[in-house]
Amino acid sequence: MKTIEDFNFENKKALIRVDFNVPLNDTYEVTDTTRIEAAKPTIIKILEDGGSAVLMSHLGRPKGKQEEYSLKHIMNKVSDILGVQVTFVQDCVGSTAEEVVTSLKGGEVVLLENLRFYKEETEGNQEFAEKLSKLGDVYVNDAFGTAHRAHASTTVVAQFFKDQKCFGKLLAKEIESINKVLKSGEHPVTAILGGSKVSSKITIIENILDAVDHLIIGGGMAYTFIKAKGGQIGNSICEDDKQELALEILKKAKQKQVEVHLPVDVIAADAFDNEANTQTVAIDQIPDGWEGLDVGPKSLEKFHEVLLASKTILWNGPLGVFEMENFAKGTIALGNSIAEATEAGAFSLVGGGDSVAAVKQFGFEDKVSYVSTGGGAMLESLEGKTLPGIVAITS
Ligand code: AMP
């Protein structure tokens, strides 16, 4: 795996695909700078080598050229974060961009206009990619969030750089973290899968059964398993047409000697409401009219024990309806157990949509080993898919 550490960028122009798809408010101010900050180490290494950086990104989903999606709105924020005045170019390809890049000196940074002002970007158009390739000597991909897309700037452009292409620090760290869980992690390896539906996680479950020793299943998807095993789940969320599949997964796990841990107790509510009445009951004896909205204390004790004995941990999906304060306790307790295991030396990776939101909301970000920056890209990696943006660099 070639990373920017394998290159000296002195007098080189690096064309860097970053993910600056950041949220903006009504007055076009950046409201969350995480993604810009995440790209900083890569850009700084290149500048410190004596190279220059040409930054390209998409912002939102514009239909053609739409002012509100212009990357010029974020230019000052990028300059502040990098500590370098960034030059903005109003077109991401063509003669103006080429002229600006030709006169670039070491230590300078250019930000190109939104790639998606051209439909050729998402189409993965060859000619468009070739035009982009004229804007750098080395191609660096540091955008994990779009690595699962075969777009011009994320994948197709790489073919014009032969061996002059590599991963940025952020993307390298993402790949390394996923590999630690799926391939090279120290055992025991434990995956916690939560969230609402079995159907959206099925490919992940099937893929990770080969890598893990323990599988903790929580959140809404646990009820499909419990019902399939003959339990009474009241009004809890359930995918009836996935019951067979749930039993098959349990069988496969057994064959592969993976220990599956389903919750044994839950906090049941008489309505899908934060203020609903609640009772703690066995997960397979939920009364009619009640639904499980969070995991119960006995289950959490067991999960804690499994996690503290684990050396590698993957967490995807909340254990309950964490958006409601009264049903967030299980997800918070799980976060605490993972933090404790990490403190004791385990490697922990949190990835994919809602668990990342939960980790940020409850302040676990600095207490786990790594929080992935890519939702869809992370899920596809866990499903065992090879991401086009990654193949483009390694092949
Ligand atoms: P996903 O997008 O599949 O990862 O699912 C995340 C969603 O699952 C969150 O919005 C949670 O509120 C929801 N969820 C977790 N546990 C439950 C549950 N017991 N009942 C209903 N929804 C749940």
| Domain C-terminal end among 143, 167, 191 | 167
What gap in Å lies between CA 3 and CA 109, rounded to an integer? 20
Q: What is the CATH number of the domain that holds 362?
A: 3.40.50.1260
In a domain, 388, yes or no: no
In a domain, 227, yes or no: yes
pLDDT-derived band at 352 (thresholds 50, 70, 90) equals confident
The 10s digit of each residue's pLDDT in 9-68 is: 999 999 999 999 999 999 999 999 989 999 999 999 999 999 999 999 999 999 999 999
Quote the number of domains for the chain.
2
Higher-pLDDT residue of 116 and 185 is 116
Q: Is the predicted pLDDT of residue 353 greater than 80, yes or no?
A: no
Residues 105 and 225 in one domain: no
Q: How many Å is the Cα radius of gyration of the chain?
A: 23
What gap in Å lies between CA 39 and CA 53, rounded to an integer? 12
The 10s digit of each residue's pLDDT in 358-378 is: 888 899 999 999 999 888 899
Tell which atom from ligand 1 comes closest to the C-alpha of 317: 4
Find out whether 380 and 370 touch, Cβ atoms under 8 Å: no
CA of 197 to the centre of ligand 1 (A): 7
In a domain, 391, yes or no: no
Residues 238 and 280 in one domain: yes
Residue 360, token pair as written in the block: 């940020």
CA of 332 to the centre of ligand 1 (A): 14
Ligand 1 site residues (CB inside 6 A) read 195-197, 200, 219-220, 237, 292-293, 317-318, 320-321, 323, 353-354
Cα 303–Cα 204–Cα 248 angle in degrees, nearest 5: 80
Tell which atom from ligand 1 comes closest to the C-alpha of 318: 15
- pLDDT of 360 reads 86
In a domain, 394, yes or no: no
Ligand 1: which of 354, 362, 372 to mutate, most ligand atoms within 8 Å of CB?
Answer: 354
Q: Is the predicted pLDDT of residue 127 greater than 80, yes or no?
A: yes
CA of 146 to the centre of ligand 1 (A): 25
Residues 35 and 94 in one domain: yes
The 10s digit of each residue's pLDDT in 315-328 is: 999 999 999 999 99
Q: Which residues pair with 279 in a beta bridge?
A: 268
Tell which atom from ligand 1 comes closest to the C-alpha of 293: 19
**Which residue has a Cα nearest atom 10 of ligand 1?**
321
Ligand 1: which of 199, 293, 321 to mutate, most ligand atoms within 8 Å of CB?
Answer: 321
Residues 139 and 186 in one domain: no
CA of 220 to the centre of ligand 1 (A): 5
Q: How many other C-beta atoms lie within 10 A of the C-beta of residue 10?
A: 11
Q: How many other C-beta atoms lie within 10 A of the C-beta of residue 94?
A: 13
In a domain, 395, yes or no: no
- pTM given for the model: 0.90
CA of 126 to the centre of ligand 1 (A): 41
Residues 129 and 178 in one domain: no
**Which residue has a Cα nearest atom 18 of ligand 1?**
220
The 10s digit of each residue's pLDDT in 331-343 is: 999 999 999 999 9
| Domain C-terminal end among 167, 189, 221 | 167
Give the residue from 183, 309, 325, 329 showing the smallest Cα distance to 265: 329
In a domain, 256, yes or no: yes
Residues 235 and 321 in one domain: yes
Phi, psi of 259 (to 5 degrees): -85, 120
- pLDDT of 8 reads 98
Residues 149 and 207 in one domain: no
**Which residue has a Cα nearest atom 6 of ligand 1?**
195
Residues 312 and 363 in one domain: yes
Q: Which domain holds residue 315?
A: 174-382
- pLDDT of 373 reads 83
- pLDDT of 356 reads 82
- pLDDT of 54 reads 98
**Which residue has a Cα nearest atom 12 of ligand 1?**
321
Residues 86 and 229 in one domain: no
| Domain C-terminal end among 145, 167, 189 | 167
Average pLDDT, the chain: 96
The 10s digit of each residue's pLDDT in 157-204 is: 999 999 999 999 999 999 999 999 999 889 999 999 998 888 888 899
CA of 268 to the centre of ligand 1 (A): 14
In a domain, 60, yes or no: yes
Tell which atom from ligand 1 comes closest to the C-alpha of 320: 16
The 10s digit of each residue's pLDDT in 246-297 is: 999 999 999 999 999 999 999 999 999 999 999 999 999 999 999 999 999 9
Residues 39 and 80 in one domain: yes
What gap in Å lies between CA 205 and CA 268, rounded to an integer? 26
Q: What is the C-alpha end-to-end distance of the chain, expressed in Å?
A: 10
In a domain, 389, yes or no: no
Residue 296, token pair as written in the block: 């119960």
What gap in Å lies between CA 298 and CA 282, rounded to an integer? 9
Residues 276 and 141 in one domain: no
Tell which atom from ligand 1 comes closest to the C-alpha of 219: 16
Active site residue ranges: 35, 197, 353, 376
Residues 316 and 365 in one domain: yes
